[in-house]
A = this chain, B = another copy of it.
Amino acid sequence: MSVDGTFGDYGGQYVPEALMPAIEELNDAYERYVLNNEGGFMDDFRERLRDFGGRPTPLQRAGRLSERYDCEVYLKREDLVHGGAHKLNNALGQVLLAKYMGKERIVAETGAGQHGTATAMACAHLDMPCEIYMGERDINRQRPNVFRMKLNGSEVNPVTVGRGTLKEAISETMRDWATNVEDTHYVIGSVVGPHPFPSMVRDFQSVISEEARTQVREQVGRLPDAVIACAGGGSNTMGAFAAFVPDDETRLYAVEAGGSTLEVDSEAGVAPNSASLTTGSEGILHGARTRLLQDDDGQIMESHSVSSGLDYAGVGPELAHLVDTGRATAVNVGDDEALTAFHRLSQLEGIIPALETAHAFGYLEQVAGPDATESADADLGELVVVNVSGRGDKDLESAIEETYERDIDIAPNMDEFTGGL
C-alpha cells in the first residue's frame, strides 16, 4: 500500500467533507499509535488480544479433512476468539485506539451482528459508551446477537429506511458520525471504508496470518501452498493473507458468496450473490473506490447470500487490488455448497463453523473433494491453511431453515426442529 491509502486504483477517501477532519485525525492516530506504537499502544493492544481475546488461536491439523482431501489441511481457529469470530481483533483495536485518541463514544454498524457484538464486548471491556446501528430486518433475523449487544451495555438503534439491512445501517452510522464527529469514533467492521480504515483494519486483523505463518513453520516446517479464507468485506481474508503476501509460493484464495447464482438481474438491481470480486466492477462506495455489485448506471445492487456476514455489495480495496494484480485469486461458493460444507465440518471435525466460514470449506470440496470436476483447475498443493473465521452458534436458526429449504443430503435428521429452535 501507499501511505495515501490507495491500492493501485482502489482505496481513497470518498466521504462527506464534515468527516474529513475526523478521518485526518484518525489517520494521524493510526500512524502514531498503530504504525509507530506511540504510548505503547500496540503492546497494550496485543496484551488485550491475548488476555481478553484469547490469542494466539491454534493452528490445528484437521485429521479427517486431510484424509478426505488427500492433503494436509490446517485450520486457523479464529472461531475460538472471544465472541466467536475474528471480528474482535478489529473491534478491540479500534475501540482501544479511540480511547487513546480521547474519544468518548463509539458507534458501529452491524449486519449479522457479529461486528456489533464484538464492538459491544470491546466497549464494555474498555468502558466506552456504544451505539450500534442495525437494519430492522437484520434485527429480526439475528435476535440473539441483538440481545448480546444489549447485555454488554450497548444501545442498538434499529434502521428502518430502505430494506433495513447492512447497507442502510452503514449509511446511518456514517450520519451519526457526521453529526457527532468530534467526540465519537466510528468502528468500521471490515477492511472497507475510507483510508485509513482498510489499512488499519487489516493491520489489526493481520495477527491471524502473523500467528499462522509462525505456527505452520513450527508445526510443519514450511510455508503453506495455499491459504483459503472467505471474503465478505474481506477483513478475515486480509487478516489471513497479509503476512503471506510476500511469500510468492503461497497461493491466496478469497472465497466469495456465490449465492444462488452468479447471474445478475440488472433490471431489478439485484445480484443473487455477493461475489463483487468475481462479478462486480469498479466503483465508489462507502468511502472507497473498489469492486462493487452495481448496475449499469452505478446504482448499488442488493446482494444476497445465505450467510448475512458475506452479504455485502462491496469488498475491501486492498483485496480487490490483490486480485487484480493476480497475487490473490477470487473464487466463489454457492449457498448450497456452503451449507453442505457447514454440515460436513460439523460432522467430520466437531467444529460448527459460521455460514460465512463454511464458504471457505465449500471451496476445498469444490476443488479437492471426491466430486471435484476435472476443470477445477486450482492446485492447492499439499499443505493448505483454511481460516475458520467464526463459529456457527449464531447461525443455528438459519441452518435449520436453509437446510430444509435446500434439502442438504448429508444433514442429520432435524425433523424436530422444523419450527426453529
Contacts from A to B (Cβ < 8 Å): 50-52, 54, 57-61, 63-64, 77, 79-80, 82, 84, 120-125, 127, 143-144, 147-148, 150-153, 343, 346-352, 392-393, 396, 399-400, 412-414, 417, 421
14 contacts between A and B (CB under 8 A): A54-B54, A54-B58, A54-B80, A79-B82, A80-B82, A123-B350, A143-B417, A144-B396, A147-B421, A151-B343, A151-B347, A151-B399, A152-B347, A152-B352
Taking CB atoms, residues of chain B closer than 8 Å to A63 are 125
In the complex, which residue of chain B has the Cβ closest to the Cβ of A149? Answer: B412
A121 smallest CB distance to B (angstroms): 4
Taking CB atoms, residues of chain B closer than 8 Å to A143 are 417, 421
Q: Report whether B58 and A350 are in contact in the complex, using a CB–CB cutoff of 8 Å.
A: no
If A346-B151, A393-B393 touch, does A58 touch B64 (CB 8 Å cutoff)?
no
Taking CB atoms, residues of chain B closer than 8 Å to A51 are 58-61, 77
If A80-B54, A80-B80 touch, does A346 touch B396 (CB 8 Å cutoff)?
no
The answer, among B84, B150, B343, for a CB contact under 8 Å with A414, is: B150
Taking CB atoms, residues of chain B closer than 8 Å to A350 are 52, 120-125, 152
Main secondary structure of the interface of A (DSSP, over half): helix
Taking CB atoms, residues of chain B closer than 8 Å to A54 are 54, 57-58, 77, 80
Taking CB atoms, residues of chain B closer than 8 Å to A400 are 147
Max chain B CB contacts within 10 Å: which of A150, A151, A347, A413?
A: A151
In the complex, which residue of chain B has the Cβ closest to the Cβ of A414? Answer: B150
Complex-state Cα separation, A52 to B64, whole angstroms: 13
Complex-state Cα separation, A20 to B392, whole angstroms: 40
Taking CB atoms, residues of chain B closer than 8 Å to A84 are 393
Complex-state Cα separation, A236 to B64, whole angstroms: 30
Q: Report whether B52 and A60 are in contact in the complex, using a CB–CB cutoff of 8 Å.
A: yes
Complex-state Cα separation, A104 to B31, whole angstroms: 58
Q: Report whether B351 and A412 are in contact in the complex, using a CB–CB cutoff of 8 Å.
A: no
Complex-state Cα separation, A123 to B349, whole angstroms: 9
Q: Report whether B153 and A346 are in contact in the complex, using a CB–CB cutoff of 8 Å.
A: yes
Complex-state Cα separation, A267 to B405, whole angstroms: 52
Complex-state Cα separation, A417 to B148, whole angstroms: 12
Complex-state Cα separation, A334 to B31, whole angstroms: 50
Taking CB atoms, residues of chain B closer than 8 Å to A127 are 64
A79 smallest CB distance to B (angstroms): 8
Taking CB atoms, residues of chain B closer than 8 Å to A349 are 124-125
In the complex, which residue of chain B has the Cβ closest to the Cβ of A153? Answer: B347
Complex-state Cα separation, A303 to B60, whole angstroms: 40
In the complex, which residue of chain B has the Cβ closest to the Cβ of A148? Answer: B352
Taking CB atoms, residues of chain B closer than 8 Å to A121 are 350-351
Q: Report whether B144 and A421 are in contact in the complex, using a CB–CB cutoff of 8 Å.
A: yes
Complex-state Cα separation, A120 to B151, whole angstroms: 29
Complex-state Cα separation, A58 to B52, whole angstroms: 7
Taking CB atoms, residues of chain B closer than 8 Å to A50 are 58
Complex-state Cα separation, A414 to B143, whole angstroms: 11
In the complex, which residue of chain B has the Cβ closest to the Cβ of A125? Answer: B350
